[in-house]
Amino acid sequence: MLIPGFTFAPKNNVALIVSLNECFLQDDVEPVYWQVLASQGLPVARSEISEEDIIAKIRNVEMRYGIQKDLMLSVIQCESGFKHDGLWGDNGMAYGIAQFHEDTFYEYAFKGMNYYDLEDQIELAGWMFANGLQQNWSCYNLMYKP
C-alpha cells in the first residue's frame, strides 16, 4: 500500500529502485519522485501522472486563487513542459513542475509542504501568482513583462 502524497527525491544521480522482489542501486539516472511503501517503509517509484491530470490540477488552482485563466498554466508549460519527475533546471538549482529554487520554495511554503511534491509545487505557485510574486519565474518575465 502506497502512502498518497508522500514524496521525496535524491539530489544526486543515484536512485534506489525498490520492488517487492528486489532492491538495487542504479547509477546514471535522473532523480525521480519516490513514494513510501507503508508496510515496510521502503521507497518505490511513484506512478506516472498524465499531462491532462497535471493541467487539470493547475487549472483548479488558477480558479481557486482567481488567477487569470491559463496564466500560470502557460508559465509552467514554459518552465517545465509539464514534466515533473526528476526535472532539474537552471544549472541544477531549480526542480520540478514549477522549477522552484529550493530556497525560494521554502521562503514562501506553507507548513508541511514538500519541495519535491508535484501538488505542493502547483499549490505554492498558485498562491505566489495570486499574491503578485510571479516575477520569480523567468518564463513569466519573458512572456508577460513589458
Q: pLDDT, tens digit, for every residue of 26-73? A: 333 333 333 333 233 434 344 478 999 999 999 999 999 999 999 999
Final residue of a structural domain among 32, 47, 62 = 47
Q: Are residues 99 and 122 in the same domain?
A: yes
Q: Which residues contact 97 (CB under 8 A, 6 or more apart)?
A: 54, 76, 79, 80, 82, 83, 84, 87, 118, 121, 122
Residues 59 and 93 in one domain: yes
Exposure string for 80-119, b = 16+ CB within 10 A, e = fewer = bebebbbbbbeeeebbbbbbbeeebbeeebeeeebbbbbb
Q: Where would I find the H helices in the chain? A: 51-65, 71-80, 102-108, 118-130, 138-144
83 and 43 housed in the same domain: no
Q: What is the mean pLDDT of residues 3-20?
A: 35
Measured CA distances, 130 to 6, 25, 91, 112 (Å): 26, 42, 28, 20
* Contact indicator for 54, 97 with CB cutoff of 8 Å: yes
Each residue's pLDDT tens digit, 89-119: 888 889 999 999 999 999 999 999 999 999 9
- pLDDT band of residue 79 (cuts 50, 70, 90) is very high
CB distance 110 to 104 below 8 Å: no
Of 5, 84, 16, 13, nearest in space to 50 by CA? 84
My answer on whether 38 and 71 are in the same domain is: no
**Domain count of the fold of the chain:** 2
Residue range 123-135, pLDDT digits in tens: 999 999 999 999 9
Query: Residues 30, 88: contact at Cβ < 8 Å?
Result: yes
